[in-house]
Amino acid sequence: MSLALSSGTRIRRFDPSLVPLALAGLFLAMLVLLPLGWLLAYTLSDEAGRPSWTNLMQLADPSLFWEPFVTTFGIALGVAALACAIAVPLAWLVARTDVPGRRLLRGLVMVSFITPPFIGAVAWVLLAAPNSGLLNQYYRWITGAGAFDSLFNIFSTTGIIFVMGSYAFPYVFVLVANTLDRLPYDLEEASAILGGGRWHTFRRVTLPMVLPALLAGFLIAFLQAMTQFGTPAILALPAGFHVLTTKIWSLFQFPPKTHLAAACAMPLLLVTILLLRAEKLLLGRRGYTMVGGKSGTPRLTPLGLWRWPALLLALFILFSTVLLPNLVLIRSSMLRSIADPWTWQTITWANVPLVFGLTNTLDALRNTLVTGVAAATLGSVFAVLIAYLTARKAVPGHQVLGFLATAPVAIPGIVLGVALFIAYTRPPFQLYGTLWILLLAFLTIEMPPAYQQMQAAFRGLNPELEEASRILGAGRLTSLAKVVAPLLKTSVAATWCFIFIGAIRELSATILLTTSQTKLVSVLIYDLNESGALGGIAVLGLVLMAVTAVVVVIANRVANVGVVTQGR
């Protein structure tokens, strides 16, 4: 500063608003690097703090690491494949055909998006537990099968794949549908004019253009399945096997084996980084830019008589993955025992006082809302700042910022949980036991998608407008707030909702980071599940989803724009 003051020319060039921007960058660096540094340090040291390889050597133990790892990998592949199998036909129907009710179909996909997967897992226990599950009861009633025969068993690998796939497909859907929405139809037309048949056009023109989105979706679904805690904890443990995340969690049982947990987390981190590299390599060769942008009105494929069967198929898919679990939650929330039939005599409100009689419940709801809203707001601000810095190359080292903002995508939630637990249970930052540590977790986990969304938005914004503002004397921050932000409010609102929903859905990091005083609804639901209070979970799950929906609607009203999809 003193240097700047001493020279008249520098004083005009130095923009004081660079200071908070640079601070934001530093904060981001700390957010990512501090926990990862501790994670590495713990992996490579023993309980006494001496350097040691023993933690990594123990990974050779099949029951500790290899068996859960192989199981996890298989499940994740299955989930990714299933999510694509559900999402791609739906996206095509909704984006490229004249199937009736396209808005409704998109809306139903969004219901799945706001449903936390662990609530879905409990709902599927109610539906498809081998004996008490409703679907199996109906099956026995219809076919007259024996008392212990069952059609579905949700406590199985296939059960887990199905449930995770049901809640991962919206990510694939949004990516593929948005790509299909923006597809330059004239290219397909050109192919047709040049004599390419439908199949040929699809294979040589449409597919290559959709492939990057599909691959990205496959990868997101895979990573989600590999790193999720709630669903396997609810479905795999009863079946008697571990996935990697539940294994890592079990290492925190008393006496906690934090060093070993850190070592177990390393392979998850590595696999994630490798997969993201692989995606880059694959897509690197297929960098199709859709020249010319959106060309003309989208031409929809007429389905003719097939319109109605197609609609039925889409509705069936969405009914079984989205509506059915929510219906069974409503049913169970009003029954004392889930085995009761639904009659006037058995309907009860007993679950409501049971759940809200816990002092925890209201606190947990408040904590969830406070951390969710704070993370969404701070996260959006950060995403805007960082995206601005990188898009406008405003500070030296902006490439590093971009990398740091994307890096957490490679950190699975449970790994981050372990890392944050180590980093913030000691001086100088003793945050365990406060809501701050949860806020940090949400910010870190949600930064990559938020940043990428905002970066894409900045790319579509001509810098002329900001330049005009700055020529008229405004600093960077003022131009950002007064000129850029209003222009970007659609994207900001979408980013906000994305972070908020992400925070509500999160259970893998939070399970390690909450205390009794800082409980979140997600963790409370997990606790209730361990006590077998399924009716209580149904009540709490429905409340959580209703609150989420209301917040998302309000956020969009405030921004006066459409829903998260940004689609039509």
Partner 1 sequence: MGMKRRSLLAAAAGLAFAGAARAARPEPQALTPALVDAAKKEGKVAWYTADDLVLATRVSKAFEAKYGLTVQLERSGAERIYQRIAQEYASNISAVDVATTSDVGHTVSWNANDWLQPFIPAEVAQWPDHAIGSDGLYIVDKFTMVTPGYNSRLVKADDAPKSWNDLLDPKWKGKLVKAHPGYSGAITNATLALSRTLGWEFFEKLAKQGVLQVQSATDPPMRTAQGERAVMADGAENTSLRLVGEGAPLVLIYPPEGVPAVAVGSVLMKKAPNPNAARLFMHYLVSQECQDLNVANGARSFNPGVKEPANWVPLGRIKLLFNEPGDLARQAEAVKQQYSKIFGV
- Where on the chain is the footprint of partner 1 (CB under 8 A)? 63, 129-132, 147-148, 155, 236-242, 246, 250, 252-256, 336-339, 354, 357-360, 425, 430, 432-433, 515-517, 527-528, 530-534, 536
Q: Which is nearer to partner 1, 240 or 293 (CB)?
A: 240
| Identity of the residue, 249 or 388, whose beta carbon is nearer to partner 1 in the bound complex | 249
Q: Which is nearer to partner 1, 147 or 193 (CB)?
A: 147
Q: Which is nearer to partner 1, 531 or 560 (CB)?
A: 531
- If you compute the radius of gyration of the chain from its CA atoms, what whole number of angstroms results? 25
Q: Which distant-in-sequence residues (6+ apart) come within 8 Å of 265 by Cβ?
A: 39, 43, 248, 412, 414, 415, 418, 419
Least CB distance to partner 1 at residue 168 (A): 24
Q: Which is nearer to partner 1, 97 or 510 (CB)?
A: 510
CB-wise, 235 or 324, nearer to partner 1? 235
| In the complex, least distance from residue 131 CB atom to partner 1, rounded to whole angstroms | 5
| Separation between Cα atoms, residue 354 and residue 351, nearest integer Å | 5
How far apart are CB 546 and partner 1 at their closest, in Å? 23
Least separation in angstroms between residue 311's CB and partner 1 is 36
- Closest approach of partner 1 to the CB of residue 340, in Å: 9
With 0-12 / 13-18 / 19 or more C-beta atoms within 10 angstroms meaning exposed / middle / buried, residue 49 is: exposed
For partner 1, the closer of residues 89 and 433 by Cβ is 433
Q: Which residues fall within 8 angstroms of residue 369, CB to CB, at 6 or more apart?
A: 547, 551
Q: How far is the CB of 147 from partner 1 (least distance, A)?
A: 6
Which tokens in the block code for residue 194?
A: 């040049």
Least distance (Å) between residue 142 CB and partner 1: 18
Q: How far is CA 372 from the centre of its chain?
A: 14
The length of the chain in residues reads 568
Q: Which two tokens stand for residue 315?
A: 């509705």
Nearer to partner 1, 223 or 233 (CB): 233
How far is Cα of residue 485 from the mean position of the Cα atoms in its chain? 25
Q: In this structure, are residues 511 and 530 in contact, taking their beta carbons and an 8 Å threshold?
A: no
Residue with tokens 């149904």: 538
Give me the DSSP letters along 186-217: HHHHHHHHTT--HHHHIIIIIHHHHHHHHHHH
The angle that helices 534-559 and 359-391 make with each other, rounded to 10 degrees, is 40
Q: d(Cα 134, Cα 136) in Å, to the nearest integer?
A: 5
CB of 239 to partner 1, least distance (A): 7
| Shorter beta-carbon distance to partner 1: residue 247 or 476 | 247
Crossing angle of helices 157-182 and 102-114, rounded to 10°: 130
| Of 217, 215, 213, 227, the residue nearest 75 (C-alpha) | 227
C-alpha distances in angstroms, 52 versus 42, 89, 258, 393, 532? 9, 51, 14, 42, 41
Question: Would you say 164 or 511 has its CB closer to partner 1?
Answer: 511
Q: Which is nearer to partner 1, 141 or 199 (CB)?
A: 141
Rounded CA gap, 126 and 328, in Å?
Answer: 7
Residue written as token pair 């980093």: 423
As given in the structure block, the two tokens for residue 386 are: 């960082």
Residue 197 Cβ, how far from partner 1 at the closest point, in Å? 53
Least spacing, CB of residue 40 vs partner 1, in Å: 21
Q: How far is the CB of 258 from partner 1 (least distance, A)?
A: 10
